[in-house]
Amino acid sequence: MAFARAARRPLGVFVYSASRRFSCGNEYSTTVASKFESLSQYRSSVSAGYANPVCGFGNFMRSFSSEAPAVVDQMSLIKQLRQRTSAPIKDVKASLVECNWDIEAAQKDLRKRGKVLASKKSSRTAAEGMLAVAQNEGKVAVIELNCETDFVARNDIFQYLALAMAKRALLVENSSQQVPGVFPFGPELFEELKLNLDHPKVNGETTVSNAATEVAAIMGENVKFRRGFLMSKSSAGVLSAYLHTSPQPGLGRLAGIVSLEVEGANTQLEAVQRVGSELAMHVVAAKPLFLSKDLVSSEALANEREILKSQAESTAKSQMAVEKMVEGRLRKYFEDVALMEQKFIVNDSINIKTLVDNLSKEVGSPVKVVDFLRVEVGEGIERLEASDEPVAQTA
């Protein structure tokens, strides 16, 4: 207790008291007193060099690390690097210290570390994400970028990358694009193409694969490009796209694209584009699998016929009645899966075939639906992992 009270006294008083206490003939008093005197002299020398003892101690400590910036500067660098990379503060500070507070070197170091972390996450299932759509006069591109959670899918970095990839997809060339139609492509074709990114946290020229890896490192999730589609049109055609649950233009979780063709010279393309937009929305809502009943695959038709026949035979009716029941139910099946036979979602009193016929009369030239595409985030994801093939509902 006495020592604790003495510790709160000024150092000079403490030295004086101690020297008096040890000066009573004790053989160690001279030695102890000299050590206290040395301590007092050290204190005086420090105080002489620095007017403020508290600041003096800080300057004294910084003399051993003259290259490290002041605390205020350190916090500023940590904040800047955190804003650039979105990396955890602990990792940001560790990289800055390791790189002697060089923010550019620390950012590069974080990217290297991030790629290692991202590669560890690449085996995790990524069934969430966004579809991004880009369009020019002759083509529409839609790509699917996946992540693990909807939270990351809503992040601006993730969405920026998806849109950049869709715009880059418009530049993909393939011999199959020489005729109108749908051209699917997967990671093997697209991932090594170059992107020029201009986002505060992801920028510069890089490949699609590296960009996805970098965003994965920032987000802390598996991020990967899954698949893409290009739809091209003829010179007399019109392409219309619709995105459902769209957080911003060009992004959504469901996409419908329709290609219409108008025969001959026609100046009333506004009506065609209007109906095309309605048809793209219809494709998203009605989920057609085939363009027309004539294009229903023989395999799908045989399977459905077998199911309907089995159901009809369970009624114990005559064979003729069973056949009529099967044919009647097949008409209903065509209305469900064939676009041209479906009831129009905007006006269910007509089907799509009638809608297109009415459009032809309105513009004064024959109009036909050439192709359509419906894509949904995460559809068939398990089948994709098993077969590594793009999955989409196309005509």
> What is the four-CA torsion angle of 341, 344, 350, 351, rounded to 10 degrees?
-10
Q: Tell me how far apart the 2 most distant CA atoms of the chain are, in Å.
A: 131
Q: 75-122 falls under which CATH superfamily? A: Ubiquitin-associated (UBA) domain (1.10.8.10)
SS (H, E, C) 101-116: CCHHHHHHHHHHHHHH
Render pLDDT for 375-395 as a digit per residue (tens, 0 to 9): 999 998 764 444 444 444 544
Q: What is the rounded average pLDDT of the residues 321-329?
A: 83
Q: What percent of the chain has pLDDT over 70?
A: 73
Least confident window among 75-84, 174-183, 229-238, 257-266: 174-183
315: Cβ contacts below 8 Å, ≥ 6 apart: 321, 322, 325
The residue length of the chain stands at 395
Render pLDDT for 258-301 as a digit per residue (tens, 0 to 9): 999 998 766 678 899 999 999 999 999 999 999 999 999 889 98
What gap in Å lies between CA 190 and CA 384, rounded to an integer? 17
CATH topology of domain 124-232: Tetrahydropterin Synthase; Chain A (3.30.479)
> Which part of the chain has CATH 3.30.479.20?
124-232, 235-296+338-379
> Which part of the chain has CATH 1.10.8.10?
75-122
What gap in Å lies between CA 212 and CA 210, rounded to an integer? 5
Q: What is the CATH architecture of 235-296+338-379?
A: 2-Layer Sandwich (3.30)
What's the pLDDT at 350? Answer: 96
